[in-house]
Structure 1
């Protein structure tokens, strides 16, 4: 058993006002700390200020170099923002467009998407009311009754029938389920991950969840006020902490949370990346 797993780790909690700054704090916590994991991770985001384009762009550049999906494409697996824009606020059209497009999404990357995508599991689960469309069932019940019990407002993506497999590694699904909580001030979305990949998935995950929350809040005629994400084990994998390619991402993360050092000095995370350049 590794040293990092020999004792229970302390929770790492973040409360921020935009997704990119929350991601910056997680990345720097791992880069500057021992090991490559945070367990458990709990983050909460409200206000939803404008995202840090510099951080997103820096990460996208490195993701492309490493042959990974960019942030927007990862977000799309949780909520298809472009299709929602095409649907012009008509959710029936959104669901119809996605059903038509899903086979093409799978065909574009059969290895990554062969087991499904998160939004597909939410609206094409394969069984259940509303023909397996969990989102439509919740929204129709909420509209028809003027509100429903809180325990109804949850969507599952993990399916034991399909996902309990002895395979050593499967890339999907890490997100287990999401819940929606209508409050007096607006809608709260809670998301639960068993594990999460910090380098190539986390920022896109958070943006996709934010977009999903905005969609559901819009359909429920209320503002979207908070996103909470709980992760059992957040891992920095598929890239080394000392990879020189991380230098601009680390610098952008430090700048995003206001920790830029005075001229002529760099933060400890950037020093680590420069050491192997």
Structure 2
């Protein structure tokens, strides 16, 4: 475990940010980074630059190890595919997502579906109940000067998630906060992960958080400015490094390793 100073990754390219994290493990001969801080900015209409070659190679690697693609992981945090269908009406968007949950869960882990967006808009386990995102949007639009501590949402629920299982795939993401700046009309999203799988989840996690931030900014009448993510323990423990040589080579061709270590 890396017990040195926090590793900070600041980028305007999402693929490069993930690539620098990935290469840090090889360059420092470690399988964990603790803690890890990622900050992404430079959004253009809510989108960051990405490198298609890195995404393609990563998706191929994930498929070879029976893992979800980057886009499928991102959809667990924010379902962009569905938002495109209801882009002018967030209420229909929320409602249809809840109504479609049985179908969504049927293709997820049947024991413990990893659906972070469900916790964000239906935290109380009941249909159309506990919509934290709607509360944040509505409160901000009615009271832009309200205390900023109001604009936060929980995913981790002690009542459901404090269990004794040796391993638990959900939720690794525990908390999100939104910080509006009324002066320049921008929004920052902050996220906290207790742990994070660098290979299987990290890229999709960051993409999903950025998409969520863009959605929230748009509904609040703001521009999405920055995504900050704090990870308690970022790790590579399910796939051996020797099985990732082709992915390492591709990433190294494109992204220089320059983390502070």
TM-score by length of structure 1 reads 0.86
2:105 maps to 106
Q: Secondary structure at the match of 2:179?
A: strand
Contact 1:196 1:231 in 2 (8 A): yes
2:201 maps to 201
Deviations 1:66-116 (A, max 9, x none): 11000000000000000010112321111012111111111113346x255
Name the CA distance, whole Å, in 2 between partners of 1:103 and 1:141.
Answer: 30
1:225 maps to 225
1:26 maps to 21
1:14 maps to 9
Cα deviation, residue 258, structure 1: 4.7
Q: Secondary structure at the match of 2:106?
A: helix
2:175 maps to 177
Contact 2:174 2:192 in 1 (8 A): yes
Higher RCO, 1 vs 2 (CA within 8 Å, ≥6 residues apart)? 2
Cα deviation, residue 158, structure 1: 0.1
Shift in CA distance, 18/74, structure 1 to aligned 2, threshold 3 Å: same
Deviations 1:8-55 (A, max 9, x none): 432100110021111000000012212200000001110034211110
Q: Secondary structure at the match of 1:110?
A: coil
Name the CA distance, whole Å, in 2 between partners of 1:187 and 1:256.
Answer: 30
Name the CA distance, whole Å, in 2 between partners of 1:142 and 1:13.
Answer: 31
1:62 maps to 61
Shift in CA distance, 115/70, structure 1 to aligned 2, threshold 3 Å: closer
1:148 maps to 146
2:93 maps to 94
TM-score by length of structure 2 reads 0.91
**Structure with the bigger percentage of helix:** 1
Larger Rg: 1
Q: Secondary structure at the match of 1:162?
A: helix
2:79 aligned with 1:80: yes
Contact 1:190 1:227 in 2 (8 A): yes
1:187 maps to 187
Cα deviation, residue 119, structure 1: 0.3
Uncovered stretches (5+) of structure 1, i.e. residues with no partner:
260-277
Contact 1:40 1:233 in 2 (8 A): yes
Name the CA distance, whole Å, in 1 between partners of 2:198 and 2:252.
Answer: 16
1:216 maps to 216
Cα deviation, residue 252, structure 1: 2.9
Cα RMSD after superposing both structures: 1.8
2:118 maps to 120
